[in-house]
């Protein structure tokens, strides 16, 4: 589904990983009842289809204890929140913290997102960015989670994030 661009994995430490992830559209969508056990999220019956518009997410290792940062660039940012308080609600940041918790690594990572998927267009731009973060951190941290493990982790971030991780 997405393309990962990173240095060859061997004995060298990988310091940055870039992932291109495509937008998606819903060919069909039926929203079912909400479920309390899913945090109030709704059951969905849908068919997704990837489209040829991509965001690029680059995750770069930072010094231990320095925390995370998020940089957004691109022509289609719309009204995407950039304040510190809203940053933690960004799907990419949610994915960063989900992966940090699941892998046992600190979230000392700089995320750069080159947005080409228009914000608010219903094309899963936030979800695909979250999926790209999970895939990038899987390589950057050496977590080596399987596709199934990444999809399960992705589901904690959003209902369409697992699709964005691996396609289908």
Parts of the chain with a pLDDT under 70: 1-12, 79-86, 88, 168
Of the candidates 24, 55, 115, 129, the residue annotated as catalytic is 24
pLDDT at 17: 97
pLDDT of residue 119: 86
- Name the phi and psi angles at 76, rounded to 5: -120, 40
pLDDT digits 0-9 by tens, 144-156: 999 999 999 999 9
Residue 98 vs residues 5, 47, 129, 137, 141: alpha-carbon distances, Å? 22, 26, 14, 11, 13
Q: Which of 55, 115, 129, 160 is catalytic?
A: 160
Please give the model's pTM, rounded to 2 decimal places.
0.85
Is-catalytic flag, 160? yes
């Amino acid at each position: 589904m997405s393309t990962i661009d990173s240095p060859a994995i061997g004995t060298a430490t990988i310091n940055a990983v870039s992932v291109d992830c495509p937008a998606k559209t819903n060919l069909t969508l039926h929203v079912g009842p909400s479920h309390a056990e899913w945090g109030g999220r709704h059951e969905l019956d849908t068919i997704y289809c990837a489209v040829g518009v991509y965001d690029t997410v680059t995750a770069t290792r930072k010094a231990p204890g320095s925390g995370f940062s998020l940089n957004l660039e691109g022509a289609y940012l719309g009204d995407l929140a950039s304040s510190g308080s809203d940053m933690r609600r960004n799907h990419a940041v949610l994915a960063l913290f989900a992966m940090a918790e699941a892998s046992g690594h600190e979230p000392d990572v700089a995320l750069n997102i080159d947005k080409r998927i228009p914000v608010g267009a219903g094309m899963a731009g936030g979800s695909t960015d979250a999926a790209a973060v999970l895939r990038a951190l899987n390589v950057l941290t050496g977590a080596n989670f399987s596709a199934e493990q990444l999809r399960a982790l992705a589901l904690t971030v959003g209902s369409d994030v697992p699709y964005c991780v691996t396609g289908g």
